[in-house]
Amino acid sequence: MIPEGPRNNEMRSRPQCHGRTDSTQSHSALLSEIRTPIKTEPFSDLYSLIPGKELGRGKFAVVKKCVEKRTGREYAAKFLRKRRKGQDCRLEIIHEIAVLELATASPRVISLHQVYETASEMILVLEYAAGGEIFNQCVAERDEAFTEGDVKRLMRQILEGVVFLHDNSVVHLDLKPQNILLTRESPLGDIKIVDFGLSRMVSGGQELREIMGTPEYVAPEILNYEPISTATDMWSIGVLAYVMLTGTSPFLGDDKQETFLNISQINISYTEEELVGLGASPINFMKSLLLKDPQARASAKECLNHPWLQLQPQEGEGLEKPLPIPVPPLSLEKGEEEESLETEELIVVASYTLGQCRQSEKENLTPDQKAISKRFKFEEPFGPLQEIIY
């Protein structure tokens, strides 16, 4: 049975947090020790929240821009609820902190400044990534969209971060454009990977099988309850590359079932209109990742050596040209046209809030808008529904 997403139809009851004390097995996938002191003085004594500056929001967390009073420096404060659906999730948050600490040495991962705790929340004070999510440029209009040169540079940086994580046995498990931030929007800055809330340790000879991630980006093995590995992230990198290059989401269906079916059947066409104008090299890059067999997928290190990401421009590649924005087919059969309009999901960037805008619109679209709107929806991750460690 194909799993359904979390928002409306949870497939089975959402279990306790993974850090729950009755599960010794799940502990092996979570880090439990941190070195950052947990401060208990009132956060508001030391930081001012910038009014109206909510940077993002998930199901159990809200991220707000703040300024440290002592230094005047800007940070992003992530307020995480400790109790979720009646369960104590503090140990999960400790794991998130521990992974951020472990990744301090990587400039590609957001850095952690301080941690605060109240009766109901933990507050992670993070480096502020002023450029926001790369998502915005993935779906932007032609002038603001990434060039292929941009995508290559940013993809190299993402892979550098992922190599670091994988070398340290961390799988992120929620790599998507909403979790890749930029230090600066214009001129385009460097990337910072955020949100280690679903990350897990994969080492110690134990197999980890969980359902988690965000529907459009989850790998087939997650849908099949098969073991999770660093290759699971590499699938998401393949999807990410596709989204960054085309502005469309390769497996997204009209509903979650269709999305999951598309993923489990690897229902992807590399001759789609979105890919017209791309050279063979980026397509070959995506093909090396979007493979059903995790072991057949390229590793992050191998990706860094892929010809597409080498500094020399490849033949036929327009480094500084905007990526092609697909032109909608001119002569759709009537039935097809009606159907495509019915399922159109318009991304209205201006009204995009918190990574979870989901707006169906079919009126007043310019051809370009129609093209970039194709098949995009925003989903929250479906949290771990079940975890089995063998």
Ligand X SMILES: Nc1ncnc2c1ncn2[C@@H]1O[C@H](COP(=O)(O)OP(=O)(O)OP(=O)(O)O)[C@@H](O)[C@H]1O
Residue positions in the annotated binding site?
A: 78
When the beta carbons of 127 and 274 are compared against ligand X, the nearer one is 127
Specify the stretch interacting with ligand X by CB under 6 A; choose among 56-64, 66-74, 238-246, 280-288.
56-64
Catalytic, out of 174, 195, 255, 293: 174
Contact between 62 and 76 (Cβ < 8 Å): no
Could you give the CA distance from residue 155 to residue 281 in angstroms, rounded to a whole number? Answer: 14
Smallest distance from the beta carbon of 262 to ligand X, in angstroms? 21
DSSP for 156-179 reads HHHHHHHHHHHHTTEE-S--SGGG
Contact between 181 and 134 (Cβ < 8 Å): yes
Residue 179 lies near ligand X (rule: CB under 6 A)? yes
| Residue 285 CB contacts under 8 Å (≥ 6 apart), including other chains | 241, 303, 306, 308, 309
Given 247, 380, 385, 389, the residue binding ligand X (CB under 6 A):
380
Smallest distance from the beta carbon of 83 to ligand X, in angstroms? 15
Residue 110 lies near ligand X (rule: CB under 6 A)? yes
Residue 175 lies near ligand X (rule: CB under 6 A)? no
Could you give the CA distance from residue 156 to residue 154 in angstroms, rounded to a whole number? Answer: 5
Contacts with ligand X: how many residues (CB under 6 A)? 24
When the beta carbons of 99 and 371 are compared against ligand X, the nearer one is 99
DSSP for 102-148 reads HGGG-TTBPPEEEEEE-SSEEEEEEE--TTEETHHHHT--TTTSPBH
Could you give the CA distance from residue 284 to residue 302 in angstroms, rounded to a whole number? Answer: 13
Residue 56 lies near ligand X (rule: CB under 6 A)? yes
Could you give the CA distance from residue 230 to residue 215 in angstroms, rounded to a whole number? Answer: 18
Specify the stretch interacting with ligand X by CB under 6 A; choose among 50-58, 303-311, 327-335, 358-366.
50-58
Residue 76 lies near ligand X (rule: CB under 6 A)? yes
Specify the stretch interacting with ligand X by CB under 6 A; choose among 41-49, 55-63, 291-299, 365-373.
55-63
Residue 289 tokens read as 């990742």
The mark string for 127-166 relative to ligand X (x by CB under 6 A, - otherwise) is xxx---x---------------------------------
Helix (H) / strand (E) containing 208:
strand 208-210
Residue 377 Cα to chain centre, angstroms: 13
Is there a catalytic annotation at residue 22? Answer: no
Residue 58 lies near ligand X (rule: CB under 6 A)? yes
Q: Give contact residues for ligand X (rule: CB under 6 A).
A: 55-56, 58-59, 61, 63, 76, 78, 110, 126-129, 133, 174, 178-179, 181, 194-195, 197, 355, 380-381
Catalytic residues: 174
